[in-house]
Amino acid sequence: MKLSTLKANPKNPRLIKDDKFRKLVKSIEEFPEMLEARPIVVNPEMIVIGGNMRFKACKAAGLKEAPVYMATWGETKDREFIIKDNVSSGENDFDILANEWDSLELDDWGLDVWQAEEETEEKEEKVKCELCGK
Protein backbone atom coordinates (compact mmCIF):
# COMPACT_ATOMS: atom_id res chain seq x y z
CA MET A 1 0.00 0.00 0.00
CA LYS A 2 1.23 3.53 -0.66
CA LEU A 3 2.72 5.07 2.48
CA SER A 4 1.17 8.39 1.49
CA THR A 5 -2.29 6.92 2.21
CA LEU A 6 -1.37 6.01 5.81
CA LYS A 7 -1.54 8.33 8.80
CA ALA A 8 0.76 8.20 11.82
CA ASN A 9 -1.13 7.67 15.04
CA PRO A 10 -0.99 10.92 17.05
CA LYS A 11 -1.85 8.94 20.21
CA ASN A 12 0.92 6.38 19.78
CA PRO A 13 2.76 6.16 23.14
CA ARG A 14 5.85 4.44 21.67
CA LEU A 15 9.04 6.45 21.16
CA ILE A 16 12.29 5.64 19.41
CA LYS A 17 15.55 7.46 20.04
CA ASP A 18 17.87 8.70 17.28
CA ASP A 19 20.39 5.83 17.34
CA LYS A 20 17.69 3.14 17.47
CA PHE A 21 15.76 4.91 14.71
CA ARG A 22 18.85 4.99 12.47
CA LYS A 23 19.29 1.25 13.08
CA LEU A 24 15.65 0.61 12.19
CA VAL A 25 15.96 2.60 8.95
CA LYS A 26 19.15 0.69 8.11
CA SER A 27 17.49 -2.66 8.82
CA ILE A 28 14.60 -1.79 6.50
CA GLU A 29 17.01 -0.69 3.78
CA GLU A 30 19.11 -3.85 4.10
CA PHE A 31 16.33 -6.38 4.79
CA PRO A 32 13.01 -5.03 3.44
CA GLU A 33 11.62 -8.57 3.30
CA MET A 34 11.06 -8.28 7.07
CA LEU A 35 8.16 -5.96 6.30
CA GLU A 36 6.30 -8.85 4.64
CA ALA A 37 6.51 -10.81 7.90
CA ARG A 38 5.57 -7.80 10.07
CA PRO A 39 3.30 -5.54 8.07
CA ILE A 40 2.18 -2.14 9.29
CA VAL A 41 -1.23 -2.52 10.97
CA VAL A 42 -3.86 0.12 10.25
CA ASN A 43 -7.49 0.68 11.15
CA PRO A 44 -10.17 1.42 8.50
CA GLU A 45 -9.36 5.14 8.74
CA MET A 46 -5.78 4.24 7.63
CA ILE A 47 -4.34 5.30 11.01
CA VAL A 48 -1.36 3.17 12.01
CA ILE A 49 -2.11 1.16 15.14
CA GLY A 50 0.88 -1.16 14.89
CA GLY A 51 4.27 -0.30 13.44
CA ASN A 52 4.34 3.48 13.80
CA MET A 53 8.14 3.47 14.06
CA ARG A 54 8.44 1.09 11.07
CA PHE A 55 6.11 3.41 9.15
CA LYS A 56 8.31 6.40 10.02
CA ALA A 57 11.47 4.42 9.16
CA CYS A 58 10.03 3.26 5.82
CA LYS A 59 9.42 6.87 4.87
CA ALA A 60 12.93 7.85 6.00
CA ALA A 61 14.36 4.97 3.93
CA GLY A 62 12.62 6.40 0.87
CA LEU A 63 10.09 3.62 0.42
CA LYS A 64 6.87 4.61 -1.30
CA GLU A 65 4.95 1.44 -0.41
CA ALA A 66 4.93 -1.17 2.36
CA PRO A 67 2.87 -4.22 3.31
CA VAL A 68 -0.18 -3.33 5.39
CA TYR A 69 -2.69 -5.33 7.41
CA MET A 70 -6.14 -3.76 7.82
CA ALA A 71 -7.57 -4.46 11.29
CA THR A 72 -11.31 -4.04 11.72
CA TRP A 73 -11.49 -4.71 15.45
CA GLY A 74 -12.98 -1.43 16.62
CA GLU A 75 -11.58 1.30 18.84
CA THR A 76 -11.44 -0.70 22.09
CA LYS A 77 -9.40 -3.54 20.60
CA ASP A 78 -7.31 -1.09 18.54
CA ARG A 79 -6.26 0.64 21.78
CA GLU A 80 -5.49 -2.69 23.41
CA PHE A 81 -3.43 -3.75 20.38
CA ILE A 82 -1.40 -0.52 20.41
CA ILE A 83 -0.15 -1.38 23.89
CA LYS A 84 0.12 -5.17 23.60
CA ASP A 85 2.01 -4.94 20.30
CA ASN A 86 4.81 -3.10 22.09
CA VAL A 87 4.97 -5.07 25.34
CA SER A 88 8.07 -7.20 25.61
CA SER A 89 7.03 -10.34 27.43
CA GLY A 90 10.21 -12.36 27.12
CA GLU A 91 13.81 -12.12 28.14
CA ASN A 92 17.02 -12.89 26.30
CA ASP A 93 19.25 -15.78 27.29
CA PHE A 94 22.55 -13.89 27.41
CA ASP A 95 24.58 -17.10 27.61
CA ILE A 96 23.23 -18.19 24.23
CA LEU A 97 23.65 -14.68 22.82
CA ALA A 98 27.24 -14.50 24.05
CA ASN A 99 28.16 -17.92 22.68
CA GLU A 100 26.17 -18.06 19.45
CA TRP A 101 25.88 -14.48 18.22
CA ASP A 102 28.23 -11.62 17.38
CA SER A 103 27.70 -8.70 19.75
CA LEU A 104 28.53 -6.09 17.10
CA GLU A 105 25.89 -7.56 14.77
CA LEU A 106 23.33 -7.67 17.57
CA ASP A 107 24.07 -4.05 18.45
CA ASP A 108 23.83 -3.07 14.79
CA TRP A 109 20.45 -4.81 14.61
CA GLY A 110 19.19 -2.75 17.58
CA LEU A 111 19.60 -5.16 20.52
CA ASP A 112 21.26 -3.59 23.55
CA VAL A 113 24.03 -6.02 24.50
CA TRP A 114 27.41 -6.23 26.15
CA GLN A 115 30.52 -5.39 24.17
CA ALA A 116 34.04 -6.48 24.80
CA GLU A 117 36.50 -3.59 25.11
CA GLU A 118 38.12 -4.32 21.71
CA GLU A 119 34.67 -4.44 20.06
CA THR A 120 33.81 -1.05 21.55
CA GLU A 121 37.08 0.41 20.25
CA GLU A 122 36.48 -1.17 16.82
CA LYS A 123 32.97 0.33 16.71
CA GLU A 124 34.27 3.77 17.72
CA GLU A 125 36.87 3.62 14.94
CA LYS A 126 34.17 2.64 12.43
CA VAL A 127 32.01 5.60 13.50
CA LYS A 128 34.99 7.98 13.22
CA CYS A 129 35.72 6.66 9.71
CA GLU A 130 32.06 7.02 8.66
CA LEU A 131 31.99 10.60 9.95
CA CYS A 132 35.20 11.72 8.26
CA GLY A 133 34.84 9.56 5.15
CA LYS A 134 38.24 7.85 5.58
One digit per residue, the tens of pLDDT, for the chain of length 134 reads 999 999 999 988 888 988 999 999 999 999 999 999 999 999 999 999 999 999 999 999 999 999 999 999 999 999 999 989 888 777 888 899 889 988 888 888 888 877 665 555 665 665 555 555 65
- Please indicate, yes or no, whether residues 7 and 34 belong to a single structural domain of this protein: yes
Phi–psi pair at 75, nearest 5 degrees? -60, -40
Overall number of domains in the chain: 2
Residue 105: domain span? 94-132
Q: Is 119 exposed, middle or buried (0-12, 13-18, 19+ CB in 10 A)?
A: middle
Q: What is the C-alpha to C-alpha distance for residues 78 and 84, in angstroms, rounded to an integer? A: 10
Residue 112 is predicted with a pLDDT of: 80
Q: Is residue 98 part of a domain?
A: yes
Q: Is residue 67 part of a domain?
A: yes
Q: Is residue 11 part of a domain?
A: yes
Q: List CB contacts of 92: < 8 A, sequence separation 6 or more.
A: 111
- Please indicate, yes or no, whether residues 57 and 16 belong to a single structural domain of this protein: yes
Q: Is residue 89 part of a domain?
A: no
- What is the number of residues in the chain? 134
How many Cβ atoms are within 10 Å of 73's Cβ, its own excluded? 14
Residue 71 is predicted with a pLDDT of: 98
CATH of residue 62: 3.90.1530
